[in-house]
């Protein structure tokens, strides 16, 4: 398991500047757009498999053509290396 060491501001900025992820307070939020509800649902299922494999579980909202994924490390109430790894893995699905 990836350690829950605090992520630096530079690491968070690099992730935020790379595409779908933005920092919102003490968490990271990814916004992903899809051509259909079914495609978004498939993405949610894939993210769920990643969450189970990493034992690190996000909040997700499935809309008509958009999925929002929110993650932070609950033990530290902050963004950690574990969150960055999770986000990078999720981003690789696209």
Helices (H), 1-94: 9-16, 37-54, 81-91
47-74 average pLDDT score: 97
Structural domain count of the chain: 1
- Give me the residues paired with residue 28 across strands: 23, 71
Helix (H, G, I), strand (E, B) or coil at 23: strand
Rounded CA-CA distance 32/14 in Å is 18
Residue 74 belongs to a domain with what CATH number? Answer: 3.30.1360.20
Within a domain: 59 = yes
Domain for residue 48, yes or no? yes
Q: Is residue 18 in a domain?
A: yes
Q: Is residue 15 part of a domain?
A: yes
Query: Residues 2-38: pLDDT tens digits?
Result: 889 999 999 999 998 888 999 999 999 999 999 999 9
Widest distance between CA atoms in the chain: 37
Q: Is residue 2 part of a domain?
A: no
Residue 3 domain-assigned (yes or no):
no
* pLDDT confidence bin for 70, thresholds 50/70/90: very high
């Amino acid at each position: 398991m990836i350690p829950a060491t605090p992520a630096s501001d530079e690491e968070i900025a690099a992730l935020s500047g790379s595409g779908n992820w933005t920092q919102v307070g003490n968490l990271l939020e990814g916004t992903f757009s899809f051509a259909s509800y079914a495609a978004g649902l498939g993405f949610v299922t894939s993210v769920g498999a990643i969450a189970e494999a990493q034992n690190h579980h996000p909040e997700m909202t499935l809309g008509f053509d958009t999925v929002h994924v929110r993650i932070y490390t609950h033990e530290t109430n902050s963004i950690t290396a574990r969150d960055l790894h999770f986000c990078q893995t999720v981003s690789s699905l696209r």
